[in-house]
Chain A
Amino acid sequence: MVKNTIATLACVLLLMISSSAQAIQQYLTSEQFLAEVYSNEPSKPQALWLNKETAKQVEKILGHAPNQMRQRYWKIGNSSAWILEEIGKEEPITAGFVVADGKIAQARILTYRESRGWEVRYPAFLKQFQGVQLQADDYLNQHIDGISGATLSVNAMVRMARLALYFDKLSRAE
């Protein structure tokens, strides 16, 4: 009886440890993401600086002040790659976006740190971003279906997608 109880407790403890260890998941490094995007043409990073006006617009998109005033990106031809971070509930999610001709060509989760909502990394969810454009009001022109239990992560991904498209628009205007 006592042995069984100890064994059960040990299993519960192991499960707790493994679930907490799963909290931070790096699916792709930024190097791997960029290598995937620009396979044979390594691109030099470029910097997009925010000014008062653009920072205000970023704040509108994110719902909070921009995390940083300089955003690095990679550009080849008409496509640009952006690695962004945004908090879902408590921890930042790192995602990579490739924007080509003002449309999202690819969206990937690089690092997921939240304890719930990791389903946003599945291709079935990420595929929804393909071909999405920014409207004049800086919202996406297509609805992104949510995932139950991952609402905040989905919202963070939508905000980052809007930001990547907005940044791409700025970078093309420069």
Chain B
Amino acid sequence: MSYRTKILRFVRHWHARVGVITALFLLLLAISGLALNHTDVLSLAKRDVKATWLMHWYGLKSTIPTQGYFFKEGYLAAADGRWVMDGHLLREGADQPLVGAVTWAETRAIASVETLYLYTPQGQLVDKLSDAELPGKPIKQLGLAGDKLVLETVRGSFVSIDALTWLQYNGEQPIWSKWQTLPSNDLSEVKKAFAPSLPLERIILDLHSGRIFGRYGPLLMDLAALVLIVLSISGVWIYLRIVRKLPQH
């Protein structure tokens, strides 16, 4: 057996074995890359993953609130910018602290420091009032005076029958909504609603870059990329060798 044939055999032998091992990484890179190329179509950023083992792997822990605001029927709990009403996610990424929530007419009024939200009991947004739509801000408290909505702001207290126009309020002490302890029977659904989650896009990005495998993950993917480069060169080399050996017609 000639020296050249020996080298060809050696390269083919290792090209095949390393190729099989690296195929897994190639598949991972190709599939995750395809998905990331179509993030919008696949709505990856909007899909939340809550799998406990994965959240545990990421080291994510959630803050479970034990207190909230009460409506006539139902409650509102908030933590880490997440608002949960009756066990359902109402808002994510809320950057202002809550100051009150009450049942008002057919709606549920929820006030943060800068904004007043009106929701249906099913969680559909009816109206959002901020800036000039409010009689003043920051809002300090939210309450009721009979069937009227009352806001206490730094400019004083204001009352409204429709949340469109506001009048200065000097009447009797309104009933201000208060942060209260949630009953234990609601806690299990609160726990579920506040379970940590990550957008699918982030997980696929971490898979693609190797970060999901920890500190040395990106190095592992770098190594896989280098091996793929070597494999593509060895593949071309083997092909050329074989083609040259084939009988010419």
> What is the interface of chain A, defined by CB distance below 8 A to chain B?
29-31, 34, 44-47, 67-70, 72
Determine the chain B residues whose CB is within 8 A of the CB of A67 once the complex forms. Answer: 125
A72–B133 alpha-carbon span in the complex (Å): 10
Sample of 12 more A-B contacts, CB < 8 Å, known A67-B125, A68-B125, A69-B120: A29-B131, A44-B164, A44-B165, A45-B164, A46-B164, A47-B127, A68-B126, A69-B124, A69-B127, A70-B126, A70-B127, A72-B127
A30–B130 alpha-carbon span in the complex (Å): 10
> What is the interface of chain B, defined by CB distance below 8 A to chain A?
118, 120, 124-128, 131-133, 162, 164-165
Asked if B131 and A31 sit within 8 Å, CB to CB, the answer is yes
Q: Closest chain B residue to A68 by CB distance?
A: B125
Asked if A47 and B164 sit within 8 Å, CB to CB, the answer is yes
A47–B118 alpha-carbon span in the complex (Å): 13
Q: Closest chain B residue to A90 by CB distance?
A: B45
A30–B128 alpha-carbon span in the complex (Å): 14
Determine the chain B residues whose CB is within 8 A of the CB of A47 once the complex forms. Answer: 127, 162, 164
Shortest CB distance A97–B (Å) = 17
| Interface CB pairs A-B, < 8 A, 7 | A31-B132, A34-B132, A45-B165, A68-B127, A68-B128, A69-B124, A69-B125
Shortest CB distance A76–B (Å) = 16
Shortest CB distance A75–B (Å) = 12
Determine the chain A residues whose CB is within 8 A of the CB of B125 once the complex forms. Answer: 67-69
A45–B126 alpha-carbon span in the complex (Å): 16
Determine the chain B residues whose CB is within 8 A of the CB of A70 once the complex forms. Answer: 118, 126-127
A72–B127 alpha-carbon span in the complex (Å): 8
Q: Closest chain B residue to A35 by CB distance?
A: B132
A30–B131 alpha-carbon span in the complex (Å): 8
Shortest CB distance B16–A (Å) = 46
Determine the chain A residues whose CB is within 8 A of the CB of B128 once the complex forms. Answer: 68
A72–B128 alpha-carbon span in the complex (Å): 10
A70–B131 alpha-carbon span in the complex (Å): 17
Q: Closest chain B residue to A55 by CB distance?
A: B124
A44–B120 alpha-carbon span in the complex (Å): 24
A74–B131 alpha-carbon span in the complex (Å): 16
Determine the chain B residues whose CB is within 8 A of the CB of A31 once the complex forms. Answer: 131-132
A70–B118 alpha-carbon span in the complex (Å): 9
Asked if A72 and B164 sit within 8 Å, CB to CB, the answer is yes
A47–B125 alpha-carbon span in the complex (Å): 14
Determine the chain A residues whose CB is within 8 A of the CB of B120 once the complex forms. Answer: 69
A97–B164 alpha-carbon span in the complex (Å): 19
Determine the chain B residues whose CB is within 8 A of the CB of A72 once the complex forms. Answer: 127, 133, 164
Shortest CB distance B157–A (Å) = 20
Asked if A30 and B132 sit within 8 Å, CB to CB, the answer is yes
> Which of B120, B124, B127, B165 lies at the interface centre, i.e. has the most chain A CB atoms within 10 A of its CB?
B127
Shortest CB distance B96–A (Å) = 15
A75–B200 alpha-carbon span in the complex (Å): 45
> Which of B124, B132, B133, B162 lies at the interface centre, i.e. has the most chain A CB atoms within 10 A of its CB?
B132
Q: Which of B126, B164, B165 contacts A69 (CB 8 A)?
A: B126
Q: Closest chain A residue to B125 by CB distance?
A: A68
Asked if B132 and A29 sit within 8 Å, CB to CB, the answer is yes
Kindly list the 3 A-B residue pairs having the minimum CB-CB distance in the complex, ordered from nearest: A31-B132, A70-B127, A68-B125
A15–B118 alpha-carbon span in the complex (Å): 40
Shortest CB distance B91–A (Å) = 13
A103–B127 alpha-carbon span in the complex (Å): 26
A46–B132 alpha-carbon span in the complex (Å): 14
Q: Closest chain B residue to A34 by CB distance?
A: B132
Q: Closest chain B residue to A46 by CB distance?
A: B164
Determine the chain B residues whose CB is within 8 A of the CB of A30 once the complex forms. Answer: 131-133
